[in-house]
Chain A
Amino acid sequence: MAGAGGPVRMKQRPISGGSLSAVELPVGAVRAVPLARPASPLTEALRRLRRSATALVGLGIVAALIGVATFADVLAPRSPTASDQAHTFARPSWDYPLGTDQLGRDMLSRLIHGSRISLAVGVSSVLLALFVGVPLGLVAGYSGGRVDTTVMRLMDLILAFPIYLLAIILMVIFTPTAGLIGTMKVTGAIAIVRIPIYARLVRGSVLSIKEKEYIEACRALGVRTPSILLGHILPNCLAPIIVTTTLGIATSIIVEATLSFLGLGTQPPTPSWGWDLKANVAFIQTYPWLSLFPGLAIFVTVLGFNLFGDGLRDALDPRLK
């Protein structure tokens, strides 16, 4: 504590200790700090994001997964679909680091290639829902009246369904198949289920933003409706959209894995984590690792997106901390 014998300027130090703040600095030093231009909200958010350990860990996991999915052909030691009847149910070894399944297929290669399905379905289903749901919400919220009622009743109809019931029936209608088409079917089914989430979210924000004075000013100046929607309203509801999208990818990956686990996802021979789990559960007592590795892969992927989404939310909206 600053005693009576201390230097004169130290007398400004507050009695309670605490952290070093402007009050504790000599008056001259405070004046010396030049007045910086206030940082833009985006720069602020990025700065907070860089300091968030959870966000960085999440981003690291996601980036690593994208790398694995992109370079799967190079990284995978073997073909994910080539079966080797001489080496069925091989234990993890130097040759087969994660063992082989009942058809003698290399588990590590299947996991590496399986990342493509999970990421592709997770990301593209959410983006598809975003590109349909956001315009619907913008138009419904801005125009109000009959358009609003019609769009939102349709959204309520989808929301009235327990999501898995709808996704499962949609997949039965689409009939699950293998390859790119099969992946697109799963993507479509999950996207349909997720559209109302965006429509509701955006409509809610639009309803409050459209009453603001600057929107009234736009209208008075004769700015056309599409420009108001895209140039003035949309940027102001971006933060919740970004957060919902990141966390939504995590949910979509779980839904995809669940559909595959029920046999309604992308069909074999296309490697998929959920399907591998389903196929190997039958041998869980003797070859537990065959079920453990795909499960762990799903878990780590979902964890990565959840961590990143959480960090992003804290960075974009510090009030929610």
Chain B
Amino acid sequence: MRTYILRRLLQIVPTVLMITLVVFVMMRSVPGDPVVVLLGDAYTEENAVKVREEYALDKPVLVQYGIWLGKLVRGDWGASILSGRPVLSDVLVRLPVTLELIVLSMGIALLIAVPAAIIGALRQNTWADYTATTAAMIGVSIPEFFVGILLLLVFSFSLHGFLPSSGWMYLPGTCPSMVCGVSVWGNLQHVLMPAVALGVGRAAILTRLLRASMLEVIRSEYVTTARAKGLSERPVVFKHALKNALIPTVTVMGLQVGFLIGGAIVVETLFAMPGLGTFGIDAIIARDYQQVQGFALITALAFVVINLIVDLTYTFLDPRIRYA
């Protein structure tokens, strides 16, 4: 098991290198020059040459990538071309915000999906099942930003600012500067609507999947055996059926990470949250190469690590699955 984890951790390196290299090359082929944006009115040929030299923008693309990598292994993620701030410190400030959003939205998704799927599967073709499947159908068809807009309309505007429509309150200990709001309650108020907006779609996908695999598992012989030997319904469902039904669901949850990152970008933009999503989209649109690289790096890392966690979850759900 330990060697397996070690091997998988080593495999992270080529994947992350590949993703960051492709992003690097792609961003360099974007039309437009960040130096022009950076210098603005102060733009002269002379200044531009100086800035290009400073950020090594005058070198061939692969050399630039090499320079970026060389700095990276020494822990230097470079500095944003537009703000001048070190990328790593910005990433570290914004990471907890996005992490909180994603973890909470996944929690909400599971909290909705697991009971809905179990009820749907155990009471197949009853009104409870139809309600669950219809709600799930609506959930997969509604884009995150529209859920967010509906929530805004109800909880921020109709209920007179019951929940804040934008901005952020930091959790104690994560505040990046001296001048930010810090409060647990305030943080919860700010994160609730974005997390629900992001979680609803996920909940719907999970409900559909989990219901389908529960239906399959519940008809299998070992569940009949468990019932036949006199177990009550609760351990049959939770101990025997649910764990096995969760395996395909966990796979799909891993695959959903790509959508979660996109969802985070949209939801953070809608609610003006200082997370990694807004960090990334701002950088991409402004062609801030260094910041985009930082975003690509942290996204690639998250992507690979979450997939590793997914694979490790299998061993917990089904002890027959062993990695050597």
Contacts and interface: CB of A to CB of B under 8 A. Distances in A.
Given A175-B31, A298-B146, A307-B137, A164 B259 contact: yes
A167 B285 CA distance: 13
Contact of A288 (B22, B27, B157, B287): B157
Interface string A291-306: 1100100110011001
Given A160-B15, A165-B299, A303 B262 contact: no
B18 interface: yes
Interface in A159-203: 160-165, 167-170, 172-173, 175
B258 interface: yes
A30 B143 CA distance: 54
Contacts of B26: 169-170, 173
A148 interface: no
B285 A162 contact: no
B143 A162 contact: no
B19 A302 contact: no
B141 A299 contact: yes
Nearest to B134: A54
Contacts of A164: 258-259, 261-263, 265
Contact residues of B: prevailing secondary structure = helix
Given A162-B299, A291-B149, A298 B157 contact: no
Interface string A267-284: 000000000010001001
A235 B191 CA distance: 49
A262 B266 contact: yes
A169 B261 CA distance: 14
A299 B138 CA distance: 8
Given A160-B18, A291-B149, A261 B138 contact: no
B118 interface: no
A281 B270 contact: yes
B157 A277 contact: no
Contacts of B30: 169, 172-173, 175
B137 A284 contact: no
Contacts of B149: 277, 281, 284, 291-292, 295
Contacts of B212: 320
B116 interface: no
B142 interface: yes
Contacts of A165: 23, 258, 261-262, 280, 296, 299
A157 B22 contact: yes
Nearest to A247: B140
Contact of A254 (B18, B143, B300): B143
Contact residues of A: prevailing secondary structure = helix
B284 A169 contact: yes
A302 B142 contact: yes
B145 interface: yes
Contact size range, A: 35 or more
A49 B19 CA distance: 43
A100 interface: no
Given A162-B303, A168-B284, A257 B140 contact: no
A258 B143 contact: yes
B321 interface: no
A303 B27 CA distance: 35
B284 A277 contact: no
Interface in B135-156: 137-138, 140-146, 149-150, 152-153
Given A162-B299, A258-B266, A262-B269, A288 B143 contact: no
A220 to B, nearest CB: 39
Interface string B181-217: 0000000000000000000000000000000100000
A284 B261 CA distance: 25
B257 interface: yes
B29 interface: yes
Contacts of B258: 161-165
B18 A262 contact: no
B319 to A, nearest CB: 28
B122 interface: no
A93 interface: no
Contacts of A173: 26, 29-31
A285 interface: yes
Interface in B142-180: 142-146, 149-150, 152-153, 157
Given A169-B23, A172-B27, A175-B31, 17 more contacts: A160-B19, A161-B19, A161-B258, A162-B257, A162-B259, A163-B262, A164-B261, A165-B262, A165-B299, A170-B26, A257-B143, A261-B143, A284-B153, A285-B157, A288-B153, A298-B143, A298-B146
7 contacts: A163-B259, A163-B262, A167-B262, A173-B29, A250-B141, A262-B269, A281-B149
Interface of A: 157, 160-165, 167-170, 172-173, 175, 250, 254, 257-258, 261-264, 277, 281, 284-285, 288, 291-292, 295, 298-299, 302-303, 306-307, 310, 320
